[in-house]
């Protein structure tokens, strides 16, 4: 998910450099960015593992208590409750569209097929659902950084 987010963040940032003549070229351009992001990620991982090995340091896995403490410090329990409440306030059509698109990470064409609507309608439902979440629970957006919502 981090690689996907980084890919699209870079694509958005550099969108003025994209001179694609059609959708196929635009997709190829985004895949090129994805390939670069993956390569950089793998290089960083290799370099980090080599450095840790040279130092004789092993990365220790966190235990459940440590994960719980991190979630507590980050205030995740409050945010989860707020998201659950906001989710429950969405109408069924918007909730289904958001589940398919965001939770299950399906492309809009699959969302539309799953809902039995046009792709444009699926996009509108997802957009309305996200707007509804933002409007009903502004603290969620504020706490989670608008760029990641």
Both 85 and 14 in a single domain? no
Both 69 and 28 in a single domain? no
Contact 68/49 with Cβ under 8 angstroms?
Answer: no
DSSP string, 67-125: HHHHHHHHTHHHHHHHHHHHHHHS-HHHHHHHIIIIIS---HHHHHHHHTS-HHHHHHH
Q: Which domain holds residue 32?
A: 2-55
- Report the CATH number that the domain containing residue 125 is assigned in CATH: 1.10.10.10
Both 32 and 84 in a single domain? no
Contact 121/139 with Cβ under 8 angstroms?
Answer: no
Digit-coded pLDDT (tens) for 44-83: 888 888 888 888 888 778 899 998 888 888 777 777 788 8
Q: Would you state the pLDDT for residue 84?
A: 85
Digit-coded pLDDT (tens) for 106-139: 999 999 999 999 999 999 999 999 888 888 755 4
CA proximity to 19, closest of 10, 31, 28, 7: 28
Both 139 and 98 in a single domain? yes
């Amino acid at each position: 998910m981090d690689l996907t987010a980084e890919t699209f963040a870079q694509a958005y940032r550099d969108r003025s450099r994209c001179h694609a003549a059609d959708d196929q070229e635009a997709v190829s351009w985004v895949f090129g960015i994805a390939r670069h992001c993956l390569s950089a990620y793998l290089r960083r991982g290799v370099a980090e593992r080599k450095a840790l090995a040279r130092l004789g340091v092993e990365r220790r896995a966190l235990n459940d208590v440590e994960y719980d403490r991190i979630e507590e410090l980050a205030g995740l329990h409050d945010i989860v409750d707020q998201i659950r409440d906001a989710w429950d306030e969405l109408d069924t059509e918007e909730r289904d569209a958001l589940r398919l698109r965001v939770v299950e990470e399906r492309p809009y064409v699959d969302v539309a097929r799953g809902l039995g609507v046009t792709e444009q309608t699926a996009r509108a439902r997802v957009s309305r659902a996200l707007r509804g979440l933002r409007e009903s629970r502004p603290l969620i957006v504020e706490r989670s950084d608008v760029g990641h919502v």
